[in-house]
Amino acid sequence: MLVQCGKIEFHLISLDVELIAELCQCPPPTHPAGCQLNPKYRSISGICNNRQNPLWGAANTHLVRWLPAEYEDGESEPKGWNQGRLHNGFQLPLVIYKIHVDKHYFSQTANETVTNDDLYSQMLVEWGQYIDHDITFTPQSTSPSPFLTFTDCSSTCENHNSLSTFCLPFCMPFQRSTSVCYLNFTSDIIQALQRQQMNAITSFMDASVVYGHTPKMERLLRDLSGFNGKLSVNKQFKDPKGRPYLPFVASLPSKCLQDPQGERVECFSAGDTRANEGLPLTSLHTLWLREHNRIAEALRRMNDHWSPEIIYQETRKIIGALHQIITMRDYVPKIIGPESFEHYIGPYGGYDPTTNPSASNVFATAAFRFGHATISPILRRLNESFQEHEQLTHLRLHNTFFSPWRIVKEGGIEPILRGIIGTAAIAVSPNMLMSEETTERLVVLNIQQHMDLASLNLQRGRDHALPGYNDWRAFCGLKRVKTLDDLKEVVGNKVAEKIHKVYKHPDNIDVWLGGLVENLLPGSRTGPLFSCLIGKQMNVLRNGDRFWWEAEGMFTQQQRAELLKGSLSRIICDNTDLREVPYDSFIFGKYPSDYVSCNYIPLMNLEAWREERSEDLKRCGSPAKIKNGDFILFSRCDKLVAQYSCYHGFKLKGAAAIVCEGNRWSDQPPQCTGISRVTKRWLGWMAVVLSAHLSSQRPGFTSTVPSVFRFEQWKHFDKD
């Protein structure tokens, strides 16, 4: 087997390269010919979704550039890196300055009243964060490694031009986004030589936020010992009605905050590592864990000939479809407006293999961060009548970060869900962009001081070398802003004067801020620029996904009809104590007049997934079960095929696929064997060498790789 990582090639014979790929932070190398094995279910890493371009949309690949990067040195130095450098005749202002000078234009204070949006509920905001975590995650280099220099940004006020570090000059800790490693050079040699940022998760709207994006994560989240296709649940705590919570993370003690008066409640584990960032986000993760297990149980009862793997994969397929439907039907039109939805997205025309579904850098770093301006400074927790809770007080936002103990010990997820359904969303206002809860009291684990989300967003855009606001307006076919009057026309008088005073030149305006303060389009929560960028991204996520729920062959006509009955309100009804909800949980209404009983919320009939035993299966019988692996069934060339696979950490030995021929299976089932400790150590050693080499090829790398590694240093790689 050939492993190509950067410019080094290694020939490995009968060895699993998954660990090497994982530690290299590169997806396993593949070839289109290897993408034909499983036609029914998407891979956990997103690889091979597109058979001709198997890395499109896959985890640990680069965020795509819709416009060329603008590094100050052409390769890796962020905008504003070289103090004194002029842009269009002026220095770029410090990001912290833009937000806090004359603060009342840009930040809500604790004493100011926010303006509510009487049309939408706070659930619209929370879903935006949740689904963003299903599409993009750009990791930062936050921990030292054996072969890189590392600077603690909390202890320095100087720029550090190294691979791992980029510190703001005003003493706010800031690590640069991790740069991606190229598996091979593309035809665009300039882009290949520039620093490109990584999307660590799959770009697809595939419910990776529930299931993870690597085989290892997937295995840890599954209840493999139950042989039922379900996800693991918390073994220590349940809610007051016996419903499950998310399992705890494997590494204990975790860093989540604790109730000073009670027993520990560790960080929850989910398909996305950010699940504990806030209580509403954790509550949504909990909902989908319960929904998976509810559906899996129903499918197991009606299809007793299905293997646990088929139950799991079919349930995962349904959950992924519900994520797509809720987002594209119920969420996106409210964000970009009906006209922009029709213009940029429109009706579904089928899967297009020429469309690259990968997340774009500007979407991840700027456009889809529009929601930061609608974060509520208060989390209201409501009782069964959607009134002030008798025991549970409202919480300021900073008291909800990384605090899963509040869910376990303070009434479960129901008071939180009632609060975000029964509270009007914050209206977007360019005069008061962000709450002080996010600009003064943002909590980030492992950083002692409070952070400023607005400044982080602006500096992240510069770290990623995003072109300015005007270039993106031109990209979307919008008029460039050339004068102060032009700016007043698109953002309003006071805001235009403020921005002009700070930036001096319209071409210097950061895209996140410029897009955020634009006048909103009718029926939308965004202005023309962000409506364009979000619309274009959603279009390619849908059209470039071979497993999109509407794609040919994904579901039967009856199943599609049932999926369309799905809604966030129905999922809340099926997995919580809430018995009355709005028909659409994103719409704000008064209780009880605008609420309906769960009995009137359409219910998806899972009978559409009932499958009788085929004649082939009756003749050949169920394929044999194997230890540390399982099989799925599908038809190929009018023959029933059982395809086996091993769980993460095991290797397949024998025929991966056996065929029902006559009244017997064509071969004995394979075995799943463990990887020896010697092999694991060797793989760990090779991962270090490969990763060091890759790092040395990245733009901005200034450290030297030690010439000798002690093999004993890497003994921990033989651990699972």
**By C-alpha distance, which of 142, 148, 133, 136 is closest to 177?**
142
Q: Given 133, 389, 464, 648, which residue is catalytic?
A: 133
Helices (H), 137-278: 189-193, 208-211, 215-221
Whether the CB-CB separation of 300 and 313 falls below 8 Å is answered with: no
What letter represents residue 16's amino acid? Answer: D
Tell me if residue 301 falls in helix, strand or coil.
helix
Structure tokens at 467: 């072109």
Provide the 8-state DSSP code for 171: S
Whether the CB-CB separation of 702 and 162 falls below 8 Å is answered with: yes
Q: CB-based contacts of 465: which residues, under 8 Å, 6+ apart? A: 69, 70, 71, 78, 79, 194, 195
31 part of the active site: no
Tell me if residue 264 falls in helix, strand or coil.
coil
Whether the CB-CB separation of 419 and 380 falls below 8 Å is answered with: yes
Whether the CB-CB separation of 452 and 96 falls below 8 Å is answered with: yes
Whether the CB-CB separation of 440 and 315 falls below 8 Å is answered with: no
Task: Give the whole-angstrom CA distance, residue 349 versus residue 453.
Answer: 39
Provide the 8-state DSSP code for 637: T
CA atoms within 13 A on the CB side of 561: 6
Phi/psi at 94 (nearest 5 deg)?
-65, 140
Task: Give the whole-angstrom CA distance, residue 700 versus residue 47.
Answer: 28
Phi/psi at 237 (nearest 5 deg)?
-130, 145
Task: Give the whole-angstrom CA distance, residue 368 versus residue 533.
Answer: 9
Structure tokens at 91: 């220095």
Whether the CB-CB separation of 160 and 167 falls below 8 Å is answered with: yes
Task: Give the whole-angstrom CA distance, residue 87 versus residue 79.
Answer: 9
Cα distances (Å, whole numbers) of residue 478 to 333, 356, 532: 20, 24, 10
Task: Give the whole-angstrom CA distance, residue 363 versus residue 539.
Answer: 12
Length of the chain: 720
Strands (E), 176-332: 198-199
Burial of 652 (C-beta count, 10 Å sphere; 0-12/13-18/19+) = middle
Task: Give the whole-angstrom CA distance, residue 85 versus residue 127.
Answer: 41
Residue where the block lists tokens 């991204």: 537
Residue where the block lists tokens 């699993």: 16
Task: Give Dmax over CA atoms of the chain in angstroms.
Answer: 81
Whether the CB-CB separation of 279 and 416 falls below 8 Å is answered with: yes
Q: Is 372 annotated as a binding residue?
A: yes
Peptide bond into 247 cis (omega under 30): no
Task: Give the whole-angstrom CA distance, residue 563 versus residue 560.
Answer: 5
Whether the CB-CB separation of 5 and 24 falls below 8 Å is answered with: yes
**By C-alpha distance, which of 396, 504, 500 is closest to 108?**
396
Q: Which neighbouring-strand residues pair with 674?
A: 650
Q: CB-based contacts of 286: which residues, under 8 Å, 6+ apart? A: 245, 246, 268, 407, 413
**Which residues fall in the annotated binding site for heme b?**
372
Residues with active-site annotation:
133
